[in-house]
Amino acid sequence: QVQLAESGGGLVQPGASLRLSCVASGRTFNNYAAGWFRQAPGKEREFVAAVNWSGGSTSYADSVKGRFSVSRDNGKNTMFLQMNGLKPEDTAVYYCALRRGQYSVTFRNEYEYEYWGQGTQVTVSS
């Protein structure tokens, strides 16, 4: 069983930056592809970014491309989401997720992931 814990959320003003972290425990982290999703109030959960097992392949939702960057440190069992130029529409609970497999590709559909964290709140407001 894999356990995930997100951190780094908070309340920031538009244009600010935040760095989210997702720490995994219980299994070898580099056996998993990983992703970030978010859910705003009254909306469905949506894809944000994904990274393959090695960190060599990444993908992003169009809404965050050029502002967010996903990375991972397999030695520390940790995935990161660097968020720059935050906008009010980025306000949501952010979740990290894992999928078993050393694939060269990334995964953008939430149903492709097996393990989920509890989420961390990001609020962008002036």
The per-residue pLDDT for 65 is: 98
Residue type, 51: V
Task: Extract the tokens encoding 66.
Answer: 């050029």
Q: Distance (Å, rounded) from C-alpha 22 to C-alpha 96?
A: 6
The per-residue pLDDT for 75 is: 93
Residue-wise pLDDT tens digits, 68-82: 999 999 999 999 999
Task: Extract the tokens encoding 69.
Answer: 């960057």
Residue-wise pLDDT tens digits, 2-16: 999 999 999 999 999
Each residue's pLDDT expressed in tens, for the chain with a length of 126 residues: 899 999 999 999 999 999 999 999 977 888 999 999 999 999 999 999 999 999 999 999 999 999 999 999 999 999 999 999 999 999 999 999 999 999 889 999 999 999 999 999 999 999
Using alpha carbons, list the distances in angstroms from residue 41 to 44, 94, 101.
Answer: 8, 12, 32
The per-residue pLDDT for 51 is: 97
The per-residue pLDDT for 59 is: 97
The per-residue pLDDT for 14 is: 98
Using alpha carbons, list the distances in angstroms from residue 25 to 3, 8, 17, 28, 50.
Answer: 5, 18, 27, 8, 19
